[in-house]
Amino acid sequence: MRTTKRALRRFLLETQALLETQAQGASSAEGMREQAMDMIRRLECVQIDPVAAVRPNQHLALSARMAGYEPSALEELLRGGEVFEYMANAACIIPMADYPIFEPTRRRMKERLQPAIDAIGPVAEQVLQRLEREGPLPAKAFESDERVHGYWDNVNAKTKATSHALNLLMDASSIRIVGREGNQRLFAITDRSVPAGLLREAEQIGTSGALDAVMRKYFRAYRVFEPSDSRLGWQKLSAQERRETMERHMASGLIVPVEAEGLSKPYYMLAADADRLAAHDLGAESEAAAVLETVRFLPPLDNLLWSRKRLSDLFEFDYTWEIYTPAVKRKYGYYAMPILAGDRLIGRMDPRLDKKRGSLTVELLQIDSNVEFADALRERVHQALEAFARTHGATEVAIAQFRHR
């Protein structure tokens, strides 16, 4: 297939629910929960991250697509067992119906982590016994004076032994998160909290069938993808295995290559999406007009941003999450969120929410130098900032610094 970069990125934005105007939010908690579930199914999964300059990534990703989104909707889906948390692109919220196809990932993780679990065997066993006996418990219910080397410890052992046990058992799928209250996680025994039918299906599913199903889920989640992605299919594949996977699915007719002007190598997409892509071939329509469409702010781990190469190729936008960059070397701020205006990424904004004061401070509002920041676009960005603030509980917005370069 041949197309333009603009048509390809508009198709991508459409499939990511980032092109159309946000629909009016549901009028009831049940309606909002259903809308959130529909959005997670559409996206296939949403990445989780606890860092909250405003709200955690999963809530910002959903609120960028859903007018009136409330975090309680996602919490209810988790507590109600309609979604589960596990490794896809990274730690993600995934529809519960997909639980069986991640069985090979769970087996691989359990095999890799078993030595670490055995090393703190008595503590891990105590955690499991309490959850078996008492049912779901928050992390704070487990106290320990013993300190061990946790996931993020360097030289000194700083992590509570019970906290490390919870993390290991969760990644090995012996237990799982069944609720969240802020950053507090609620844990339960997996075999008691996943529907029995899905557990049986996970036991019976063949490895090749499960991995193929996950690969197809990846294709639907990314929509526009290429074999250099080291996360292809969310599996541990070598470069040769990735190429062979793409060739096999092309031969079967599932995926097709798509070429766009200015790109040296093709991307790939589902063959079933061909007509959807063709609908975005807008010919000579002005790109300048597109930036006057809806303005949104995307969190650093938004689904659209998963492939930095795709961002550069299709949007001509370079993005680095600077949270791990020393403060003195940061260009845009540690939580700089890309600004999407219509079908273009035009800059970044670095927000801080003060919940007690009900205020949102934009440490830096940066617009790329190649963007004509005329009055109409400027007004739309400021309106979007005010709407973003209201959505996240702030009544005041202040811009500390503006940069157009």
365 closest CA partner among 321, 389, 400, 395: 400
pLDDT band at 158 (very low <50, low <70, confident <90, very high): confident
Residues 6+ apart with CB under 8 A from 253: 271
The three-point CA angle 333-221-287 to 5° equals 65
* Residue range(s) occupied by CATH 1.10.10 in the chain: 100-200
Checking if the pLDDT of 53 tops 70, the result is: yes
**pLDDT on residue 293:** 75
| Higher-scoring residue by pLDDT: 222, 156 | 222
Task: Check residue 289 and give its pLDDT.
Answer: 52
Average pLDDT for the chain: 93
How do residues 264-303 score in pLDDT, each as one tens digit? 999 999 999 999 999 998 654 555 455 557 899 999 999 9
pLDDT of 386 > 50? The answer is yes
Which residues 6+ apart lie within 8 Å of 371 measured at CB?
291, 344, 346, 347, 377, 404
Q: How confident is the model at residue 159 (pLDDT cuts 50, 70, 90)?
A: confident
DSSP 192-204: HHS-HHHHHHHHH
Q: How many helices (H) and strands (E) does the chain have?
A: 15, 17
Which segment of 23-27, 33-37, 85-89, 248-252 scores lowest on mean pLDDT?
Answer: 23-27
CATH 3.40.630 in the chain: give the residue spans.
287-404
Please state, in angstroms and rounded to a whole number, the distance separating the CA atoms of residues 109 and 177: 16
Output the pLDDT for position 284.
44
DSSP-assigned letters across all residues of 9-74: HHHHHHHTT-SSPPPPPPSSHHHHHHHHHHHHHHHS-EE-----SSS-HHHHHHHTTSTT--HHHH
Alpha-carbon 264 to chain mean position:
28
How long is the chain? 405
- The token pair that represents 72 in the structure block: 């309680």
Q: Is the pLDDT of residue 26 over 80?
A: no
Instruction: Judge contact between 113 and 212, C-beta under 8 A.
Output: no
Secondary structure (3-state) at 185: strand
Residues above pLDDT 90, as percent of the chain: 85
Structure tokens at 198: 């899905």
pLDDT score for 292: 57
Exposed, middle or buried by CB within 10 Å (0-12, 13-18, 19+), for 281?
middle
What is the CATH T-level fold of the domain 100-200, as seen in this structure?
Answer: Arc Repressor Mutant, subunit A (1.10.10)
Q: pLDDT value at position 20?
A: 79
pLDDT-wise least confident of 19-33, 37-51, 55-69, 326-340:
19-33
Domain spanning 287-404 has what CATH number? 3.40.630
Neighbours of 167 (CB within 10 A): 19
1 contacts 273 by C-beta, under 8 angstroms: no
